[in-house]
Amino acid sequence: MNCPYCGYHDSKVIDSRGVNDGIRRRRQCLSCSSRFTTYERLQPASLFVIKKDERREEFNRNKLLTGIRKACEKRPLPTGAVDKLADDIEAELYQLGKAEIPSAVIGDIVMERLKSLDYIAYIRFASVYREFADITALKQEVDTLVSSDAETSRPTSQLPLLLNEELEALAKSHRRSRK
């Protein structure tokens, strides 16, 4: 790391301590004696996704984010919730400590997280990801969710009023895509 003031190539470490997931080092330039700080962070090994057809593709956070964004479109979520979700999922994937992860595993993790974040977003994501063969399969999934929701003490206000409308829209798009 060159000195940001004079560009000299060498410095000494005058203080170092751990911060969150990295190390903060206070340095002093050996030429002009200016002080500056560097952060050292572990670069995760690259992660590959095993696609359905067995092809490997490097994990792409933007792709993940796009998928989640689409599912969460126009949902009443706090600013940053979608990005945080993507961050959490990415962290979870790296924590698995695997070099390759099947895309189905990633999809399941996304669905699991979306389910607790936003019901409609979950259904949207699931309908695309699971490629529900027909609207009946989708309806079954919804019914399962509704009944499992009833069992847990989730406030009823979280059960979206838009559900039927949303289902009809999905049904329509399914019909369209099958023509």
Helix/strand/coil for 6: coil
Query: Any contact of residue 64 with Zn ion (CB under 5 A)?
Result: no
Interface residue with Zn ion among 8, 70, 150, 165 (CB under 5 A) is 8
Query: Any contact of residue 5 with Zn ion (CB under 5 A)?
Result: yes
Minimum distance of Zn ion from residue 10's CB (angstroms): 9
Minimum distance of Zn ion from residue 154's CB (angstroms): 59
Minimum distance of Zn ion from residue 37's CB (angstroms): 14
Q: Which of 109, 124, 106 is nearest to 59 (CA)?
A: 106
Query: Any contact of residue 11 with Zn ion (CB under 5 A)?
Result: no
Helix/strand/coil for 97: coil
Distance of CA 169 to the CA centre of its chain: 26
Query: Any contact of residue 3 with Zn ion (CB under 5 A)?
Result: yes
Query: Any contact of residue 9 with Zn ion (CB under 5 A)?
Result: no
Closer residue to Zn ion in complex, CB, 5/148: 5
Query: Any contact of residue 169 with Zn ion (CB under 5 A)?
Result: no
The answer to whether the beta carbons of residues 151 and 161 sit under 8 Å apart is: no
Q: How many residues does the chain have?
A: 179
Q: Which of 71, 133, 131, 140 is nearest to 103 (CA)?
A: 131
Query: Any contact of residue 6 with Zn ion (CB under 5 A)?
Result: yes
Query: Any contact of residue 31 with Zn ion (CB under 5 A)?
Result: yes
Minimum distance of Zn ion from residue 22's CB (angstroms): 23
The answer to whether the beta carbons of residues 28 and 15 sit under 8 Å apart is: no
Query: Any contact of residue 93 with Zn ion (CB under 5 A)?
Result: no
Residues in CB range of 117: below 8 A, 6 or more apart: 72, 77, 81, 85
Binding footprint of Zn ion, residue count (CB under 5 A): 8
Stretch in the footprint of Zn ion (CB under 5 A) among 27-35, 73-81, 83-91, 116-124: 27-35
Environment class of residue 114 by beta-carbon count within 10 Å: exposed (0-12), middle (13-18) or buried (19+)? Answer: buried
The footprint of Zn ion (CB under 5 A) covers 3, 5-6, 8, 29, 31-32, 34
